[in-house]
Structure 1
Amino acid sequence: MAREFDCLFVRRHGFDPVAAPLPTDFEADQQIVEEALERGGHLVAASQGAVSAMMLAVERPDLVRSLVLAEPACLSLTKELPATAAHRERVEPLFMRAAELTDEDFNREFARAVFGSEPRPLNTAEDRDRARRLRMQAPPWTAPLAIVPGVPTLVLTGGWEPLYEEVAEYLAGTGAVHRVVGGGHRPQDTEEGNTILRRFIRDHAEKGPELGVDA
């Protein structure tokens, strides 16, 4: 995308590749995105990055010229709906015990609860940081997100997980465009998803040339 658009890629609070992991801070994530957009741009966000992107789009729609969400984990919006409620039932007890568990134990139990499999061994410093960061994350359904933004919104999903399809269908019911393009949890990386994403941004390019990307 950087060959066609002026892209800026940013990381969420606590996801610095060098610094130690930090607990979730939804407001800090939103501020990071706001500072990156400066005078405004087109915002692309994936998974839990979609939470802060939507929070900003709700509070500062003047900055967000278009919004693309890939497999958005905006579970605050759907926490009472069937797929999200079932997910919460599986993992909420684990989050409540996070402070009592080691990073390795939490990582193992999370993989079993969410994926039904054993995680890979934590052999590297990067693996251990990833496990610590996972244990420090706040459940996405606790994010202060209750309404949807009034900006042009595209939602891409992979069609593999009812949880993300439920969020996408909820957003489609509020006016978002929803496309199922495959690709598992990274639909934006498929040829179809990438094509649709680019076209969507071009269609709203008259609002401004900048592209802010939050992944």
Structure 2
Amino acid sequence: MFVHGAGSFGAAAWPRQHGLSLDFDCLYVRRHGFSATEEPLPTDHARDQAIIADALGAGGHVVAHSQGAVAAMMLAVERPDLVRTLTLVEPACFSLTADLPATSAHIALMAPLFAVRHAVSDEEFLRSFVRRTFSAEAGMPNTAEGRRGAARLRLQSPPWEAPLSIVPGVPTFVLTGGWEPLYEEVADYLAGTGAIHRQAPGGHRPHDSEEGAALVRSFLRTGRDAAV
């Protein structure tokens, strides 16, 4: 079960993982409010959990990226019977590390923007978000999907406000890109609770690199074999 972040969604968010269909019955979900044709909707963690749970059926392995990791972890906490293993790629689970230095600094930088997100345009929010996150400029995407993506980004709730305070007791693997202390801080926190943490190149999408894809595949196969 693959759960996307705030950018591309469905199978498009996992191009290097499509080959896992040779070994697994792979499903690529769309989180609440993500559609190629409908207007974006605000974040709803409960709806996201329900989407993941329904797709899992009797249970399975969950792989989640960035903001998608929040609902995936929440489900693993509440329904560990459904989640056999949990793979988190650059998890934006900032509720867990809100008091730690890198996360605290990130919240201080981004909270003022989220506080006014309903009073600014999609383009203004996108520009400010990218500038604060990547120190670069961004213009309004000039396609229908690009404009929906910008609107969707403005509607995403701050990850540090997610109702997540404990970690699940299921085998957990965390993959980070080693580019941003914020995500390394979350990964170190999870490693301290028993998760396996590895790094691979690729920035915020290390699962797109050959090394990262191989690490994800290896963990899933190990988890599957252990359950036999």
Counterpart among 117, 120, 131 of residue 101 in structure 1: 120
Counterpart among 208, 212, 215 of residue 189 in structure 1: 208
Equivalent runs, 1:1-215 vs 2, <5 Å: 1-206=20-225
Q: Which is richer in strand?
A: 1
Asked if the contact 1:98–1:106 (Cα under 8 Å) also holds between the matched residues in 2, the reply is yes
In the alignment, which residue of structure 1 is the partner of 2:16? none
Asked if the contact 1:41–1:208 (Cα under 8 Å) also holds between the matched residues in 2, the reply is no
Asked if the contact 1:65–1:207 (Cα under 8 Å) also holds between the matched residues in 2, the reply is no
Asked if the contact 1:159–1:184 (Cα under 8 Å) also holds between the matched residues in 2, the reply is yes
Once the two structures are TM-superposed, the CA of residue 190 in structure 1 deviates from its matched residue by: 1.6
- Measure the CA separation in 2 of the matches of 1:78 and 1:194: 26
Once the two structures are TM-superposed, the CA of residue 207 in structure 1 deviates from its matched residue by: 6.0
Q: Which has the higher contact order (CA 8 A, sep 6+)?
A: 1
Deviations 1:80-119 (A, max 9, x none): 1111111111110010001110111111111111111111
Q: CA RMSD in A?
A: 1.2
- Measure the CA separation in 2 of the matches of 1:107 and 1:177: 34
Report the secondary structure of 2:26's partner residue. strand
TM-score, normalised via structure 1 length: 0.94
Unaligned runs of 5+ in 1: 210-215
Once the two structures are TM-superposed, the CA of residue 65 in structure 1 deviates from its matched residue by: 0.5
Range 125-134 or range 166-175, more displaced: 125-134
Once the two structures are TM-superposed, the CA of residue 120 in structure 1 deviates from its matched residue by: 3.4
Q: Give the partner amino acid of 1:87.
A: H
Asked if the contact 2:140–2:150 (Cα under 8 Å) also holds between the matched residues in 1, the reply is no
Once the two structures are TM-superposed, the CA of residue 208 in structure 1 deviates from its matched residue by: 5.7
Deviations 1:9-35 (A, max 9, x none): 001110112111000111111111111
Asked if the contact 1:65–1:151 (Cα under 8 Å) also holds between the matched residues in 2, the reply is yes
Q: Give the partner amino acid of 1:115.
A: F
TM-score, normalised via structure 2 length: 0.89
Report the secondary structure of 1:7's partner residue. coil
Asked if the contact 2:123–2:139 (Cα under 8 Å) also holds between the matched residues in 1, the reply is no
Once the two structures are TM-superposed, the CA of residue 122 in structure 1 deviates from its matched residue by: 2.3
- Measure the CA separation in 2 of the matches of 1:207 and 1:42: 12
Range 197-206 or range 57-66, more displaced: 197-206
